Amino acid sequence: MTTRDLDENGWETSAPNWIKRTGDDGDFSRQFVLDAPMLARVALAHPQNALDVGCGEGRFCRKLGSMGVQTVGLDPIPAMIEAAQQSDPKGQYTLGFAEELPFKDESFDLIVSYLALIDIDDPAKAISEMFRVLKPNGRILVANLSSFSTSSAAIGRRYCKDTGEELRPLGRYLDVQKDWFEWDGLRIQNWHRPLSSYMQWFLEHGLVLTHFDEPQPSGGPIERVEAYQKMPYLMMMEWQKPSI
């Protein structure tokens, strides 16, 4: 474990509220947009074991476990790991940072990064570590906020002066920046990075892109669905490690 400040991005302080509000179903993004397509990719890959990097309270680990996948959850926040272990006493959870994975080379068939890259300070190092502990032919399954949405969020809300409609203009899209966001009793920092940065970090290890999607909502409150379809903000991708 690194000695860096665990609360540097707000998660230590926000963990209790996050755990209380998340439960088994998760928020709109998880329950109605990402879970189904993420689990579909897992089913196609048939992994024997998996590592969930940035597992939080362990919700997705439990879903993987219900599919028969032996899953390890890793998170740097003690309260998250404690909550995960309480909800899943037989599960395996460990404290650690994505940039310093405490596992041997080629340990996992599948690595999941579920809305975690936006929280990680050194994603290039984290992706390098994911590559290291991934078995040949294994896959890295990523869900992330789209770079369009993180860029527009960084400059705040804007509205059309004639119609009052909320707009999402791009900020300084090519500039990497870290900003504070507050909602529902949470106060955390997220990173904005252009999509090209993420793509290059995966490509430089020779990983092969096997899937990319900007999934549609599969249900949920109609007002949330309509708002999402006007301004979608989620994406997912899957990368495979070559066998040689």
CATH of the domain at 29: 3.40.50.150
| Position 31 pLDDT exceeds 60 | yes
Positive or negative CA dihedral for 201, 207, 213, 215?
negative
Confirm whether 38 is domain-assigned.
yes
Confirm whether 206 is domain-assigned.
yes
124: tokens are: 């290039």
Q: What is the pLDDT of residue 155?
A: 47
Confirm whether 183 is domain-assigned.
no
Strands 158-159 and 166-167: antiparallel
Separation of alpha carbons 32 and 17, rounded Å: 21
Q: What's the average model confidence in pLDDT over 62-87?
A: 97
| Per-chain mean pLDDT for the chain | 90
Q: What's the average model confidence in pLDDT over 175-199?
A: 91
Confirm whether 226 is domain-assigned.
yes
| Position 3 pLDDT exceeds 60 | no
Provide the domain count of the chain: 1
Beta-carbon contacts of 60 under 8 Å, excluding residues fewer than 6 positions away, are 30, 35, 38, 52, 112, 114
Confirm whether 175 is domain-assigned.
no
Separation of alpha carbons 96 and 17, rounded Å: 21
| Position 158 pLDDT exceeds 60 | no
Separation of alpha carbons 33 and 29, rounded Å: 5
Confirm whether 24 is domain-assigned.
yes
Confirm whether 162 is domain-assigned.
no
Range of the domain at 96: 11-145+195-240
| Position 168 pLDDT exceeds 70 | no
Which residue shows structure tokens 């949405």? 149
Backbone angles phi, psi at 104, to 5 degrees: -75, 160
In angstroms, how far is CA 26 from the centroid of its own chain? 13
Q: What's the average model confidence in pLDDT over 208-229?
A: 95
Confirm whether 49 is domain-assigned.
yes
